[in-house]
């Protein structure tokens, strides 16, 4: 009897010890992205998100954050780095690999987005329906967009639609480059970190980005005229993804998976979008203080731009239909979700 009791105690101790080890599992995750550390997303989203997750995990999830592509490669490689485990988590622009993630492109179509927080929340809901196949190789933490996109151009810049003709302008994705071309300019695709050098060397005459990004990359110092758009809908925005290596996520115990899950989805995406747009005003002030020209397209001139951009939407819908995707439904659902969150 005593021997049986001792044996039972040993087994119980071993089981308890194993459970305690699993419960106490710790993990350090590598986050990789292409922006400098002081930029808005690293400073006001990625780092606070990591700190929040670490706190809610009781310190069992820790992070090492690598800005400015410190783990190697170029920005278009980031998604595959998450897929392949080079990094555990990445923040990137799916559009850096043209045509690979068509589901996300709908949010980059002209005059779709209202504000970054509402549109980011809409993008998360939409992605759950339309992006499962495109993002199947990663665990999506959140998706989001930036604030209203606009032009930043040397000299007199863009003051009316005709000023687009022949201008060499950088765009981040194929959809936005297609918009630039449809409006009469010459699109030159390149990742954001390459823009300052391209402006300095005259490779491009201007770029499209939101105000927020201009501070980190000194765009107000490299251009002279900034063209905003009035109305309820922005000229464009760009769609981002914050994603995790699936195997790394699957290796976590259930309670740590829950911490990640609790910090994923629409609210997290809305957070990223919100902080980006909140930094538009301080960045705009930098341009104002330098005496740069700020143009605002409104009224009849704005309608001319909207009319000129319509073929971009029609072409995208036709392309999706040709690929067996419900192009019109994707646009309609994205618009409905944006309107839903904008009114909340």
**Residue at a domain's end among 249, 278, 307:** 278
| Domain match, 154 and 249 both | no
| Domain match, 158 and 127 both | no
pLDDT of residue 9: 43
pLDDT of residue 302: 98
Beta pairing class for 89-92 and 168-171: unpaired
Is residue 140, in this structure, part of any structural domain at all? yes
| Domain match, 232 and 243 both | no
Q: How far is Cα 227 from Cα 207, in angstroms, rounded to an integer?
A: 11
pLDDT of residue 25: 85
**Residue at a domain's end among 278, 309, 333:** 278
Burial class, 152, CB count within 10 angstroms (exposed 0-12 / middle 13-18 / buried 19+): buried
- Residue range(s) defining the domain that contains residue 119: 26-100+115-145+239-278
| Domain match, 196 and 247 both | no
| Domain match, 226 and 287 both | yes
pLDDT of residue 19: 44
Is residue 18, in this structure, part of any structural domain at all? no
Domain of residue 41, CATH code: 3.40.190.170
Is residue 136, in this structure, part of any structural domain at all? yes
Read off the pTM: 0.92
pLDDT of residue 21: 44
Is residue 265, in this structure, part of any structural domain at all? yes
pLDDT 10s digit of each residue in the chain, 344 long?
A: 444 444 444 444 444 444 444 457 899 999 999 999 999 999 999 999 999 999 999 999 999 999 999 999 999 999 999 999 999 999 999 999 999 999 999 999 999 999 999 999 999 999 999 999 999 999 999 999 999 999 999 999 999 999 999 999 999 999 999 999 999 999 999 999 999 999 999 999 999 999 999 999 999 999 999 999 999 999 999 999 999 999 999 999 999 999 999 999 999 999 999 999 999 999 999 999 999 999 999 999 999 999 999 999 999 999 999 999 999 999 999 999 999 999 99
Output phi, psi for 66, to 5 deg: -120, 100
| Domain match, 230 and 141 both | no
Render the burial of 62-82: b for 16+ CB within 10 Å, e for the rest: ebebbbebebeeebbbbbbbb
What is 99-140 written as a DSSP string? Answer: TS-HHHHGGGSTT--S-HHHHHHHHHHHHHHH-TTTTTTEEE
Q: What does each C-alpha distance from 53 to 48, 49, 208, 262, 276 come to in angstroms?
A: 9, 6, 33, 9, 20
| Domain match, 294 and 324 both | yes
DSSP 156: T
pLDDT of residue 153: 98
Q: How far is Cα 182 from Cα 41, in angstroms, rounded to an integer?
A: 30
Domain count, the chain: 2
| Domain match, 192 and 327 both | yes
| Domain match, 165 and 313 both | yes
Is residue 20, in this structure, part of any structural domain at all? no
| Domain match, 251 and 192 both | no
Is residue 85, in this structure, part of any structural domain at all? yes
| Domain match, 251 and 218 both | no
**Residue at a domain's end among 278, 301, 334:** 278
């Amino acid at each position: 009897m005593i021997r049986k009791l001792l044996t039972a105690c040993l087994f119980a101790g071993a089981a308890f010890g194993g459970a305690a080890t699993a419960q106490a599992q710790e993990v350090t995750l590598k986050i990789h992205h292409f922006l400098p550390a002081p930029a808005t997303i690293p400073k006001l989203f990625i780092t606070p998100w990591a700190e929040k997750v670490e706190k809610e995990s009781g310190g069992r999830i820790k992070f090492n954050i690598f800005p400015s592509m410190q783990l190697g490669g170029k920005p278009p490689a980031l998604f595959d780095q998450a897929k392949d485990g080079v990094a555990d988590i990445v923040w990137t622009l799916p559009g850096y690999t043209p045509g690979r993630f068509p589901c996300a492109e709908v949010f980059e179509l002209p005059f779709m987005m209202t504000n970054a927080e509402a549109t980011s929340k809409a993008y998360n809901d939409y992605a759950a329906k339309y992006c499962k196949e495109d993002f199947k190789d990663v665990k999506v933490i959140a998706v989001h967009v930036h604030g209203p996109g606009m032009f930043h151009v040397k000299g007199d810049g863009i003051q009316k639609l005709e000023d687009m003709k022949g201008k060499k302008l950088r765009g981040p994705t194929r959809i936005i480059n297609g918009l630039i071309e449809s409006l009469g300019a010459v699109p030159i695709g390149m990742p954001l970190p390459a823009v300052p050098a391209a402006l300095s060397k005259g490779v491009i005459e201007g770029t499209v980005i939101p105000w927020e990004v201009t501070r980190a990359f000194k765009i107000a110092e490299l251009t002279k005229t900034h063209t905003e758009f009035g109305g309820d809908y922005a000229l464009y925005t760009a769609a981002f993804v914050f994603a995790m290596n699936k195997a790394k996520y699957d290796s976590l115990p259930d309670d740590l998976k829950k911490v990640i899950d609790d910090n994923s989805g629409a609210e997290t995406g809305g957070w990223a979008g919100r902080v980006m747009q909140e930094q538009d005003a301080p960045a705009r002030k930098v341009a104002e203080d330098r005496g740069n020209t700020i143009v605002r397209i409104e009224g009849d001139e704005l309608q001319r731009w909207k009319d000129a951009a319509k073929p971009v939407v029609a072409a995208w819908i036709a392309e999706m239909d040709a690929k067996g995707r419900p192009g019109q439904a994707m646009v309609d659902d994205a618009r409905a979700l944006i309107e839903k969150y904008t009114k909340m």
